[in-house]
A = this chain, B = another copy of it.
Amino acid sequence: MTDTVRVDGRTNDQLRPVTIERGWSDQAEGSALISFGRTKVLCTASFTNGVPRWMAGKGKGWVTAEYSMLPRSTNSRMDRESVKGRIGGRTHEISRLVGRSLRAVVDMKALGENTIVIDCDVLQADGGTRTAAITGAYVALADALEWGREKKFLSQKAQPLTDSVAAISVGIVGGKPMLDLAYTEDSRAETDMNVVVTGRGLFVEVQGTAEAAPFDRTELNSLLDLALAGTISLTEFQNTSLGR
């Protein structure tokens, strides 16, 4: 499986170059500018003491996320959703995915009555924007939690993070399972899967879609193998960035 050479010279089980600029923003409590190859996503985590009124008094916190693409992050310009006056289905879907993925590694009781809003804005898109967003957002989240601890909104002993989380895309392209699809690969994939995995190797989300051809269980298993290997690497990038 690893002997094929792709457009950018990678083997099928190889990630694109990953960089994480932790603390990119001077304004946010946590932030990371992450790149998977040419895909660049600015992730910020905004920490607010307190929760929305409907959650107050339960001793629990809340984590939510919003994802968006700049209009010219893509090869041809897209209309802005703010100008159209409505958010598209894809944006909604990815925002919800990012939020669920991060909540899966946060103990809301340990977070206490604090709210964290994650923003993932795609500055440049070349496939894998949602997986880069989740992977970068985790770094921003971890820093926002440290900020909350320093400001005493969290107790010294509180451990809101139960695990880390990262995500990668995999797919079957030209009959071959491949890791971390670039846009040109993604657009001709028969099957496309996004997999969100914790640092301990457990699944948070498995979203496989037959774009062109339904897939069988053997193919599903190959894709999951690739994804689990990929997320191990991403977890290491996250840990290095966070100085762990």
Q: Which residues of A contact B (CB under 8 A)?
A: 25-28, 31, 38, 42, 44, 46, 48, 66, 68, 70-77, 80-93, 95-96, 100, 104, 117, 119, 121, 123-126, 163, 193, 198, 200-210, 214-217, 220, 224
Give A42 to B84 CA distance when docked, in angstroms. 21
**A42 vs B27: C-alpha distance in the bound complex, in angstroms?**
17
Summarize A's interface: helix, strand, loop or mixed. Answer: mixed
Specify which chain B residues have a CB less than 8 angstroms from the CB of A86 in the assembled complex. Answer: 82, 85-87
Give how many copies assemble into the complex.
6
Known: A87-B83, A89-B96. A121 touches B206 (CB 8 A): no
Across the interface, do A46 and B77 meet the contact criterion of CB distance under 8 Å? yes
Q: Could you give 23 example pairs across A and B, Cβ below 8 Å?
A: A26-B124, A26-B126, A31-B72, A66-B83, A68-B80, A70-B121, A72-B119, A77-B117, A82-B86, A83-B87, A85-B86, A86-B87, A89-B95, A89-B96, A163-B214, A198-B214, A202-B215, A204-B209, A205-B210, A206-B206, A206-B207, A206-B208, A207-B208
